[in-house]
Structure 1
């Protein structure tokens, strides 16, 4: 029997399982639905500073992501692929590597609403602890020697406008800056690299890929293990004293609902015995709304190679709209050709603080239409960001597209 089973080896699960296994007396099992891989086996496209080709290549989507995971904002739209990592390292293998922290005021708001342990004073030291920042690591609010590298382009390479803020993660970080990323020597570093690779030799730590978890096993209301299938084989039960779900915002609720934890009426309709009636499970899914303005780009300003970083500079600011809070908007410039033969630049803006909840996301492919109130709020915020984007430098977008 294991002491702890951690389901999901992504940004949370990789870190948690590795830290738990530091206690040699604790047996830990990490289960990941996707493939296992060693740092030396990472393909070039995954390591590249430009993640755009990797994210959009159907071959990589099938091998490193959830190929059947689709979503749409309304039922009138065609479903689109929803990027989520399915491998050791999870979505840290497919994200933009951006290492911008949450706003301190937002954490304090959570604490004021009753989320004990989530104030800025509680959370910010944890951000410090995970960093390996060779530039500012010896200064306050940063660290040198943590598991994940934080890289910033050398100050001498910054443009005149980029120098407005040297550190977006400082308490007064609102403004324009080259932002930090999780990269070392020009290559992506995932949580598989930073946490799991150094821990793989521990006798008390088992790591299994291609492990699809169906449900959590219960004895009454106490979790006793998981039902899992390895490499497409038969289902089997593995017991543990504790089970921790780190399968992400989409798959953790789905596992819970298949386990009998969720809204009783929904579970009964699916023929699932109810372990606990918890209506909030599988509801309230949210993600950042994005609006992309596409601009013609001068040849000398474009990325000069396929592996050149696709985005480097951003501006964070407060929209001033109700429910927005501090620094609820981020505008990022892309300098990578988005289509073959057309050298275009995408300037994207998204809302980093969400004012409301969206629809339920259960086991089937999710449909995520916003509520009418959030739709009005999000589009009002998008319009504000679009006005700022087009006003800067008298820019005239070739297209404006919600994502």
Structure 2
């Protein structure tokens, strides 16, 4: 039975950061338990290739239960299962969210999580190619750069949005978030810069860091009121990996609550139904949130990314780190307000330089492009629950997308903005027709019906082990000593934007909480 100081479950977006930060002290022994394996597949590192990872053995390949707000459709919920986790298969968009998100967390009781208090952790991680300023840092492990593709289809979206009267914004992570522009990306020299690339790989040579790959965590071992280790299956054998200081769950918004429930921490009635002894009765898995989006797809005569994987483009990527294969597909987008009385945006657009349909699984057989809104501030709440007491069973997931009037109003308002942009000269001049069907009219019922049948996840699940409900502001599980959760599941609400950067920030802050460091020290690192 191996013993370490810290045992981390998950080598993904948060776990890779924590493994690197905690193992900086050579006197500390750190183990990471990862269900997947190393991030060696070339499709991981070639930015434009990430959709090829869906529904492979590098994808957890979850599905939701039938969603009542989507006419009973099941949502496809892809999640990375390899070193780097979702940072190894996402669209690499670096968005922190809005100041209002974090100030709202703090006002609701998440002490220490205001915007001013988390900004130093965003800056600590960052090595921004534009240089340092009040909002950005340099010298951190994570390369944040401008995209090197600038595909004409994504550029056309920006021109059309400007023609529709929307302002441009050259830094969504700066003083203001609203407007349209090009996304900054977690890329280094035109290739993906995941948390595995940025944090984990540079730390793997340390003798005090051990990564157990292809290892499934079964449950947290709890003795009395203290977490003492993790039961792990590897190569067909189950063993306990002991933690002398802490067990830290970084398995994500679906797997972290599942693992807690398998360990007896969760809603008592639900656990009893599976014959699991209740250690602590907590609302684990409740309050699940996500961003729901709907993309209009159009045909065009403009060259899209369907021919990006040519020998010439591959050589260009290898030699110069640029070209179509460096595209993250959704190169441009923006943040919009569904009504004028909102202080912060509640809609986010992504514009893709290739057809993106059928939950991202549909084949792009002709030239086309896609763009549309996602609801940033959902009022719908879902849940992660157990399907079985077997550790290898996928959890039951229900997001309840579009089950509130507010969410339905927002997605319809966003689609009307999308249709407005599509009608502008810059778009109308390159559109040769719709790909698939479109809303039958611009009426509320027709737009809503279309979004319910054609929308999908933005891959941003959060809040299933939220601060204030399951963990305290230092991310410690209530009433269980030496057990923390450090991933997007602890977010009190889903931030306004892509969730990878906030997850990395959370792990950076957690490292300081664990080690007793302060934010002021973090800001200078």
Answer yes or no: is the 8 Å Cα contact 1:84–1:90 preserved in 2: yes
Shift of 1:342: 2.2
Q: Does 1:109 align with 2:104?
A: yes
Answer yes or no: is the 8 Å Cα contact 2:264–2:279 preserved in 1: yes
Q: Does 1:348 align with 2:372?
A: yes
Over 3 Å counting, the alpha-carbon distance change for 1:144 and 1:308 in structure 2 is closer
Equivalence for 1:182: 186
Equivalence for 2:491: none
Which of 37, 49, 53 is 2:47 aligned to? Answer: 49
Shift of 1:83: 0.5
Superposition map of 1:298-337 within 5 A: 298-300=301-303, 305-306=308-309, 307=325, 309=327, 310-320=329-339, 326-337=344-355
Q: Does 1:375 align with 2:404?
A: yes
Answer yes or no: is the 8 Å Cα contact 1:73–1:369 preserved in 2: no
Q: TM-score, normalised by structure 1?
A: 0.89
Q: Deviations over 1:67-94 (max 9, x none)?
A: 4x22245266354532111111111111
Distance 1:252 1:297 in 2: 43
Superposition map of 1:222-241 within 5 A: 222-231=226-235, 233-241=236-244
Shift of 1:141: 1.5
Equivalence for 1:71: 64
Answer yes or no: is the 8 Å Cα contact 1:289–1:378 preserved in 2: no
What SS does the aligned partner of 2:27 have?
coil
Superposition map of 1:350-365 within 5 A: 350-363=374-387, 364-365=394-395
Shift of 1:184: 1.3
Equivalence for 1:391: 420
Over 3 Å counting, the alpha-carbon distance change for 1:292 and 1:73 in structure 2 is farther
Answer yes or no: is the 8 Å Cα contact 1:333–1:346 preserved in 2: yes
Equivalence for 2:209: 205
Answer yes or no: is the 8 Å Cα contact 1:70–1:365 preserved in 2: no
Shift of 1:18: 1.1
What SS does the aligned partner of 2:51 have?
helix
Equivalence for 1:88: 83
Over 3 Å counting, the alpha-carbon distance change for 1:98 and 1:217 in structure 2 is same
Distance 2:409 2:255 in 1: 31
Superposition map of 1:94-133 within 5 A: 94-133=89-128
- After superposing the two structures, state which structure 1 stretch, 261-270 or 145-154, moved more: 145-154
Over 3 Å counting, the alpha-carbon distance change for 1:301 and 1:260 in structure 2 is closer
Answer yes or no: is the 8 Å Cα contact 1:228–1:238 preserved in 2: yes
Over 3 Å counting, the alpha-carbon distance change for 1:252 and 1:154 in structure 2 is closer
Q: Which runs of 5+ in 1 are unaligned?
A: none
Distance 2:222 2:340 in 1: 45
Equivalence for 1:2: 4
Q: Deviations over 1:41-60 (max 9, x none)?
A: x332111221453234x4xx
Equivalence for 2:131: 137
Alignment root-mean-square deviation, CA: 2.5
Distance 1:156 1:237 in 2: 50
Shift of 1:225: 0.6
Answer yes or no: is the 8 Å Cα contact 2:379–2:404 preserved in 1: no
Distance 2:42 2:6 in 1: 34
Q: How many residues end up aligned between the 2 structures?
A: 389
Shift of 1:203: 1.5
Shift of 1:140: 2.6
What SS does the aligned partner of 1:382 have?
helix
What SS does the aligned partner of 1:225 have?
strand
Q: Deviations over 1:193-252 (max 9, x none)?
A: 111111111111111101100000111111011100113x12111211210101000001
